[in-house]
């Protein structure tokens, strides 16, 4: 499980595996592990895994459903055929496809995966209520972040299982990973995201050229889908999207004790931004950068 700014204008958080970007400086210690190697189990095993990635039918009331962004969410909705979806780019590997989420049920499932990762392993009698509240808040946050603000854009990337004409799969079972990819701009005087600089009170945001950068956050893969290369390939897809937008660098934050995430990023070409290390001591994180 991964997670990933130091900027005040956004809701921020980071999980046990490194990415952050939701609720203002709230920590997300997740025990969901990122996929670090390829693995293919038997068909029987995969069927069992599919059944485990779903929201319990009784966990969401009809009144809660109606509150979610005014959307008529159908938690039994079948996965939409790829040919019916309008999305600019996608990345296929094995039995999976990485692309941008396009329907509310996919946004909700991404939010639910993040809620599960946030509360994984916690022994709390009200944990189901906490998960529902977290997922609802994140559902709204994902949809808000899709709106461009001051040159900043955010995409909710998901990894879905490929269509199978012999299997009818719901959206909840089809989505097996998620991350946020933002296109951001450096503030006046910054050389890296979140740098503490003596800038004017009303500083400007540079929206073009080398001042734009990509930022990865909230990468998570559920237990039942790990060890199949999902996290690695979602991250690869995100970097390719950054490159296709004419942007040279992508950044991510990772916890200093999160060795698995650091190894994944290193494999993908990320390096620690040494200049940021002293400014991130209190938060126990590193800022990593990759040249797209």
CA 106, CA 83: separation in Å to the nearest integer? 16
Q: List phi, psi (to 5°) of 116.
A: -60, -40
Strand, coil or helix: 271: strand
Start-to-end Cα distance in the chain:
22
Residues 290 and 268: beta-carbon distance below 8 Å: yes
CA 191, CA 275: separation in Å to the nearest integer? 9
The catalytically annotated residue of 17, 107, 265, 286 is 265
CA 276, CA 287: separation in Å to the nearest integer? 6
**Which positions ≥6 away from 35 have C-beta within 8 Å?**
177, 221, 225, 226, 227, 228, 229, 230, 231, 232
* Residue corresponding to tokens 């599960």: 116
**Which positions ≥6 away from 259 have C-beta within 8 Å?**
none
- Of 170, 138, 168, the residue nearest 156 (C-alpha): 138
- Of 158, 271, 287, 292, the residue nearest 225 (C-alpha): 158
Strand, coil or helix: 282: coil
Q: Which contiguous run of DSSP H or E holds residue 27?
A: strand 26-28
Is residue 265 annotated as a catalytic residue, yes or no?
yes
CA 172, CA 54: separation in Å to the nearest integer? 5
CA 69, CA 20: separation in Å to the nearest integer? 23
* Count of CB atoms situated within 10 Å of the CB of 34: 25
What is the set of active-site residues?
265
């Amino acid at each position: 499980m991964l997670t990933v700014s130091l900027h005040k204008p956004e809701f921020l958080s980071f999980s046990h595996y490194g990415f952050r970007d939701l609720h203002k400086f709230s920590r997300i210690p997740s025990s969901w592990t990122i996929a670090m190697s390829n693995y293919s189990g038997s068909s029987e095993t995969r069927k069992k895994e599919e059944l485990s990635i779903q929201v319990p039918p009784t966990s969401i009331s009809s009144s809660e459903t109606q509150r979610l962004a005014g959307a008529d969410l159908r938690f039994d909705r079948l996965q939409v055929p790829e040919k019916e979806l309008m999305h600019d780019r996608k990345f296929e590997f094995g039995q999976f496809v990485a692309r941008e989420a396009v329907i509310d049920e996919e946004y909700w499932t991404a939010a639910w995966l993040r809620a599960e990762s946030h509360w994984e392993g916690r022994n709390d009698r009200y944990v189901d209520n906490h998960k529902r509240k977290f997922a609802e808040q994140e559902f709204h946050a994902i949809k808000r972040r899709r709106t461009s603000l001051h040159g900043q854009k955010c995409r909710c990337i998901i990894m879905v299982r490929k269509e199978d004409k012999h299997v009818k799969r719901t959206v909840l079972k089809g989505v097996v990973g998620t991350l946020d990819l933002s296109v951001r701009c450096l503030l006046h005087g910054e050389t890296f995201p979140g740098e503490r600089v003596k800038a004017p009170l009303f500083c400007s945001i540079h929206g073009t050229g080398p001042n734009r950068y990509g930022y990865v956050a909230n990468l998570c893969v559920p237990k039942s889908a790990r060890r199949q290369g999902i996290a690695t390939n979602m991250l690869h897809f995100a970097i390719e999207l950054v490159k296709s937008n004419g942007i040279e660098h992508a950044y991510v934050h990772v916890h200093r004790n999160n060795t698995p995430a650091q190894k994944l990023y290193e494999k993908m070409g990320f390096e620690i931004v040494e200049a940021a290390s002293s400014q991130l001591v209190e938060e126990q994180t590193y800022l990593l950068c990759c040249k797209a």
